[in-house]
């Protein structure tokens, strides 16, 4: 048996979606800034689109900025 990890929903993304749905954009942005992985951010974006939430420029910019940060190659490593 093999597990399909692509269809697995991120716990982090569902929790942040709940924060967004509560109307607390500032808390959602704070969570987006500390997102664990690119995959989690992508899953959050998919969930937001699936829920047909109204567009929020602040959230979209936070997701875009942190996707870029997490996707960028590391230029140096700590010793």
Question: Is residue 76 predicted with pLDDT exceeding 90?
Answer: no
pLDDT at site 54: 83
In the prediction, which pLDDT does 53 show?
84
Give residue 78's pLDDT band: very low, low, confident or very high (50, 70, 90): low
Helices (H), the chain: 11-22, 25-33, 38-51, 57-71
* Residue 46 near residue 54 (C-beta atoms within 8 A): no
pLDDT in tens, 18-74: 999 999 999 999 999 999 999 999 999 999 999 888 888 999 999 999 999 988 877
pTM for this entry: 0.78
């Amino acid at each position: 048996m093999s597990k399909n990890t692509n269809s697995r929903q991120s716990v982090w993304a569902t929790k942040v979606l709940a924060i967004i749905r509560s109307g607390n954009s500032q808390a959602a942005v704070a969570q987006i800034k500390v997102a664990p992985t690119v995959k989690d951010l992508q899953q959050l974006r998919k969930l937001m689109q699936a829920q047909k939430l109204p567009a929020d420029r602040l959230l979209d910019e936070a997701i875009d900025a942190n996707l870029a940060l997490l996707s960028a190659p590391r230029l140096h490593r700590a010793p």
